[in-house]
Structure 1
Amino acid sequence: MIFRPYLLTALAASTTLMACGGSDEQPLPLPQLTAAQAATLSSCTALSGFSFAGTTVTAASTVASGTLNNAGQPVGEHCLVVGRMNDRVSTVDGQTYAIGFQMRLPRDWNGRFLHQGNGGTDGTVAVADGGGSLGSGGLLRNGLQMGFAVLSSDAGHSGAQNPLFGIDPQARLDYGYQAVRSLTPMAKALILAAYNKGPDRSYFAGSSNGGRHAMVAAARLPADYDGFLANSPGFNLPKAAVAQLWGAQQWNKVVTSTGTAPLYDLESAFTQTERRLVANAILGKCDALDGVADGLVQDADACRTAFDLARDVPTCSAARDGTTCLSAAQKTVVADVFAGAKNSAGTALYARWAYDPGLSATGWADWKFRNSVRGGRDPVAVAHIFSVPPVTTALSNTLSYALSFNMDTDAPNIFATNSVHTESAMSLMTPPDPANLDTMRLRGGKMLVIHGSADGVFSVDDTAAWYDALDQRLAGRAADAVRFFRVPGMGHSRGGPATDQYDALTALVDWVERGAAPDRIVAGARGTGNAGGVNADVPSTWSANRTRPLCPYPMVARYKSGDSELAASFACER
């Protein structure tokens, strides 16, 4: 792509005007990037001698076609390179750290590099196939099958160092964004050595924490990648983890059973039967708002006023029966949780949550009731990775830590620094200026963000608020480079009563390299017989092959005519 200086100057001026509240003039079109060109792997074994600063290659071997499979189809022959970067011994905790990675380089390469962001607290080098870790119920053709050269890493620490790597400030920084910064030029150099040419186009994609990585990369490394795919992104991850502890404290007010050690039965506060009662009430008020009663709430914004928990869910007149009603205390707790975490002064600590029938799914309960207390991810993440200073005593009793966490005095520690941890968790984990993607936009980069409406750990409303801020800053032109899609019913990254299988990676490539902006992404239900695996949350009343259009926010899929099981019968409208 040849960039014309006068065009970029005009674009920059146009963006400045839009950032200040808009202009009556139409902005100039953004640059169109050219398509990637294919190449063939020159040698795999020669890559064992690959040299790059701070990098050790421990193995380079050919993987035969069919050794890996995805959705019942063989993954083609490729080269697997395994190594590590930036070996060091911490002066803080004495642990040995390195950024472990693997890269899979297909024999028949499509000219594209895919950096695969992995989820959770990292610590494991996932299979670099550009597939399951991208969310969406698993791609029926993963990135490696499509011909991408794919990189995966552990973000700078091992699984054995989880979660206590948070004691070391550099390990925190690597987890937040610096491992990606180190790996990116190395991966591109490795591709050059493998194919005698660097990648024509580079993409960053991931789900959950990997989606956060994608959003951070778009802000911090906008010149190094052309497209970004963020599925179920936890870009405010420290806030979300604190909110889960706050939620646990609310649920704990109405538990009826403490469970059996080492588990704690927080779910007894709001059982699956009771959640189905609420889900059915939501459907009763909101299902048909999109023109058809099909078990999906497409118009989530209209549902905010159509559904009222106090009015539409029966209140138990006497004892809680667990089936036909909620107690008044339960209603108070449910309403409080969905309204969002707050401190004692009523100041919001995180976003509100959307009422969606997907709350009845087991995956939603896992995040709300299990990961938030004993042995759960959220207490250990807040204590050891996000708080300054780290609270290392929390490992001995995560349940006690979660239920006694003080929203007034402990929650601000995710913003704190000290002489050892000079960058706060919120600084290292989030984009530095989330509503500013000018560098990405002005060079022709594109971003897709996809989020399930029933995500139990990262609020879809938090993502919507981010997009609203971006769109306001760009005077209503955010969709020229960034599009956000909600997935009704979908939980965290996948699952739930939803059409949760979609290929956003191909949609992103088409937008970046061909200028085909995605006006819809067709998603399918993973019913019986699905090649990528069956979603147990799909209702038996749905067609196993149901499809729906995912629509760019704030548009909604509305039924028009024809077979209501098919995406073609719906239009994306406001």
Structure 2
Amino acid sequence: MSCPQVSTEALGITGVRVLSSEEVPAGAGSPIAHCRIDALAAERTGQDGHDYAIHFEIRLPDDWNGRFVHQFNGGNDGTVVPAFGPLLGGNTQRTALGIGYAVLSSDAGHDGASYPDAQLAAGSRFGLDPEARLYYGYKAVETLTPIGKQILASYYGEAPVSSYGIGCSNGGRHGMVAASRFGDQFDGILVGAPGFNLPKAAVQHALDVQTLNALTGDLRTSFSPADLAAVGTAINQSCDALDGLEDGIVSDIAACQENFDINTAVCQNDNQEQCISEAQAQALTTIFAGPRNAHGAQLYSEWAWDPGISGSDWRFWKVQSPIPPWDNLPLIAVMGASSLAQIFTTPPTKVDGDPDSLLNFLLDFDLNRDSWKIYKRNRNYRESAMSFMTPPDARNPKLKKLKRSGGKIILFHGVSDPVFSYLDTENWYRRLNRNYHGHADRFAKLYPVPGMNHCSGGPATDDFNLFEQLVNWVENDQEPQSVTAKVRADNPEVPADWSPTRTRKLCPYPEVATYVGGNPESADSFVCQ
């Protein structure tokens, strides 16, 4: 079948309506020549009277390598991100489409820009519809993955030899949910910064906003860039040498959590430079301990101390967005408030989309009384947020379908991720490993990235290609070990005293990149142990 021949009738896939197909030449934003198909699936009318569908596109290379990638997108979804298949990490030029993969991308079953009640918080209005919640949580990926494979079979005359899923942030959550619910649909899944406990993380966002706002009465002034740099310096002073080399990278994450005391960052006597106040130190202690209810029970997770707290992305998410009209809020408040109100709690709470309304929702959120709404359901909303948003086996992970089908999964997470706690992902992996008697690494690997913020950025070597490792594992039975990560030239967070050619080993958990001598800027001078 040629691209101009693609139509609803020609594909003949039940529940799929083709809107258009076009030939896209190489260049002008396209890495290679391909056919782009724009289509709808699972069209329906919601309980709110609004028309819903999964809007998706699939890009089919002229020179296809025989493989399929389902691109899982981030945030609240709601838009069809171009299906180029970014291969994650800081290097945005590396894409699956560019090396011959067919790639599918969708809006996860809702249009984030076109809904009634336009005054409601943008991007999360769909949460008022029970079925739209489920499509966002898992049903869009479940529906589209076999459809994507059917399109390939119709277009190329043959099914893909291998199928992969790729995503970071909420896209990483999609990946973990897919691995748990229908892992046998994928040969390999690459997961970055997974928000697999996203409703719980939204409760953390309320704690963050309440704690930081209480410092000065204005989130924007709670921590300056200099304040966070001072904390990063204190962490380095306590932890940098634990991996054998003082280089601005803390590789021994576990030892650092034992070694670091936030009080070392507090101003002493008349020293008022490169330090923080006792109140600021207490605020960070509260945030890093995670939200708790009146009985002391943990509602989300603890967080890891890491010098990447000095990264601008950390402040962007936690303290202040520089984007008007949201520049009086951190990005977490913008996205977290609307999601917590209208998607993650049952019944949903309608919240206006202006900055003051979003801020006030989080300030008024009662951690003890309201946090349990993420587990609630009722006659209209028959699945709780913790049911439709998280892997069913998150507390006791086994990924049976993925493992039994021979699939592989690689996860990576920035240790200084301000959105989702690296320690939450680490604890999930430890539970998985315990369920397989210490041998989960036969099909699942976790790579912490020291210094890295959310999905990329921060004072880190964030240019790495874990997708290549995943494919070699799936198709050539080459089990990944250490992976070389590079400094990215366009990363403004790289310290001035780092070599622009610095490389480091990313080690599979629980191994630590340890300096053994030689060129301090080279990954070859480190071993994973």
TM class, shorter-length? over 0.9
For residues 123-272 of structure 1, the aligned pairs below 5 Å read 123-131=78-86, 134-160=87-113, 161=115, 162-255=123-216, 258=218, 266-272=219-225
Letter in 2 for 1:391: T
CA-CA distance at 1:164 after TM superposition: 0.6
Kept in 2, the 8 Å contact 1:267–1:365? The answer is no
Which moves more between the two structures, 553-562 or 139-148? 139-148
Kept in 2, the 8 Å contact 1:546–1:565? The answer is yes
Whole-angstrom distance in 1 between the partners of 2:527 and 2:332: 45
Kept in 2, the 8 Å contact 1:139–1:501? The answer is no
Query: 1:33: which partner in 2?
Result: none
Kept in 2, the 8 Å contact 1:415–1:426? The answer is yes
Query: 1:302: which partner in 2?
Result: 255
Whole-angstrom distance in 2 between the partners of 1:191 and 1:380: 37
Whole-angstrom distance in 2 between the partners of 1:142 and 1:467: 27
TM-score normalised per structure 2: 0.93
CA-CA distance at 1:170 after TM superposition: 0.7
Is the partner of 2:136 in helix, strand or coil? helix
Query: 1:518: which partner in 2?
Result: 480
Whole-angstrom distance in 2 between the partners of 1:468 and 1:374: 27
Q: Post-superposition, which runs of at least 4 consecutive aligned residues in structure 1 deviate over 4 A? A: 371-375
Unaligned runs of 5+ in 1: 1-41, 70-74, 259-265, 528-533
Query: 2:120: which partner in 1?
Result: none
Kept in 2, the 8 Å contact 1:229–1:505? The answer is yes
Task: Find 1:493's aligned residue among 421, 438, 455.
Answer: 455
Query: 1:461: which partner in 2?
Result: 423
Query: 1:47: which partner in 2?
Result: 6
Whole-angstrom distance in 1 between the partners of 2:104 and 2:89: 19
Query: 1:314: which partner in 2?
Result: 266
Letter in 1 for 2:335: R
Task: Find 1:429's aligned residue among 385, 389, 393.
Answer: 389
Query: 2:345: which partner in 1?
Result: 387
Q: How many residues align?
A: 507
Whole-angstrom distance in 1 between the partners of 2:38 and 2:142: 18
Whole-angstrom distance in 2 between the partners of 1:156 and 1:465: 31
Is the partner of 2:184 in helix, strand or coil? coil
CA-CA distance at 1:375 after TM superposition: 6.0
Is the partner of 1:223 in helix, strand or coil? helix
Is the partner of 2:190 in helix, strand or coil? strand
Q: Percent identity?
A: 43
CA-CA distance at 1:184 after TM superposition: 1.1
For residues 344-493 of structure 1, the aligned pairs below 5 Å read 344-370=294-320, 376-393=334-351, 395=353, 397-434=357-394, 435-493=397-455
> 1:276-316: per-residue Cα shift (whole Å, max 9, x none)?
11111110111111111111000011111221112x22335
Kept in 2, the 8 Å contact 1:226–1:446? The answer is yes
Whole-angstrom distance in 2 between the partners of 1:466 and 1:454: 17
How big is the alpha-carbon RMSD for the aligned residues of Structure 1 and Structure 2? 1.6
Query: 2:49: which partner in 1?
Result: 94
Query: 1:509: which partner in 2?
Result: 471
Whole-angstrom distance in 1 between the partners of 2:332 and 2:136: 24
Which moves more between the two structures, 154-163 or 201-210? 154-163
> 1:326-364: per-residue Cα shift (whole Å, max 9, x none)?
222222111111111112221111111111111111110
Unaligned runs of 5+ in 2: 116-122, 321-328
User: Cα–Cα, structure 1 residues 393 and 267, in superposed 2: closer, same or farther, change >3 Å?
Assistant: closer
Kept in 2, the 8 Å contact 1:373–1:398? The answer is no
Kept in 2, the 8 Å contact 1:232–1:492? The answer is yes
Letter in 2 for 1:542: W
User: Cα–Cα, structure 1 residues 199 and 373, in superposed 2: closer, same or farther, change >3 Å?
Assistant: closer
Kept in 2, the 8 Å contact 1:139–1:502? The answer is no
> 1:454-507: per-residue Cα shift (whole Å, max 9, x none)?
000100000000000001111101100000000000000010000111111111
Kept in 1, the 8 Å contact 2:317–2:331? The answer is no
Kept in 2, the 8 Å contact 1:47–1:193? The answer is no
Letter in 2 for 1:187: G
CA-CA distance at 1:109 after TM superposition: 1.0
Q: Does 1:339 align with 2:294?
A: no
Query: 1:542: which partner in 2?
Result: 498
Whole-angstrom distance in 2 between the partners of 1:346 and 1:243: 14
Kept in 2, the 8 Å contact 1:372–1:378? The answer is no
Whole-angstrom distance in 2 between the partners of 1:354 and 1:361: 14
Kept in 2, the 8 Å contact 1:394–1:401? The answer is no
Kept in 1, the 8 Å contact 2:342–2:351? The answer is no
Whole-angstrom distance in 1 between the partners of 2:347 and 2:423: 30
CA-CA distance at 1:365 after TM superposition: 1.0
Which moves more between the two structures, 202-211 or 559-568? 559-568
Whole-angstrom distance in 2 between the partners of 1:559 and 1:197: 49
Query: 2:323: which partner in 1?
Result: none
Kept in 1, the 8 Å contact 2:25–2:33? The answer is yes
Whole-angstrom distance in 1 between the partners of 2:333 and 2:427: 31
Letter in 1 for 2:161: D
Kept in 2, the 8 Å contact 1:79–1:105? The answer is yes
Query: 2:523: which partner in 1?
Result: 567
Whole-angstrom distance in 2 between the partners of 1:289 and 1:200: 45
Whole-angstrom distance in 2 between the partners of 1:460 and 1:373: 19
User: Cα–Cα, structure 1 residues 159 and 566, in superposed 2: closer, same or farther, change >3 Å?
Assistant: same
For residues 75-90 of structure 1, the aligned pairs below 5 Å read 75-90=31-46
Letter in 2 for 1:572: C
Kept in 1, the 8 Å contact 2:182–2:401? The answer is no
Letter in 2 for 1:355: W
Kept in 2, the 8 Å contact 1:374–1:398? The answer is no
Letter in 1 for 2:262: L
Which moves more between the two structures, 448-457 or 561-570? 561-570
Whole-angstrom distance in 2 between the partners of 1:445 and 1:428: 23
Letter in 2 for 1:77: A
Kept in 2, the 8 Å contact 1:291–1:558? The answer is yes
CA-CA distance at 1:89 after TM superposition: 1.6
Whole-angstrom distance in 2 between the partners of 1:135 and 1:510: 17
Kept in 2, the 8 Å contact 1:207–1:233? The answer is yes
Q: Does 1:120 align with 2:75?
A: yes
Letter in 1 for 2:281: K
Whole-angstrom distance in 2 between the partners of 1:198 and 1:135: 26
CA-CA distance at 1:140 after TM superposition: 4.0
Kept in 2, the 8 Å contact 1:244–1:372? The answer is no
Is the partner of 1:441 in helix, strand or coil? helix
Kept in 2, the 8 Å contact 1:452–1:492? The answer is yes
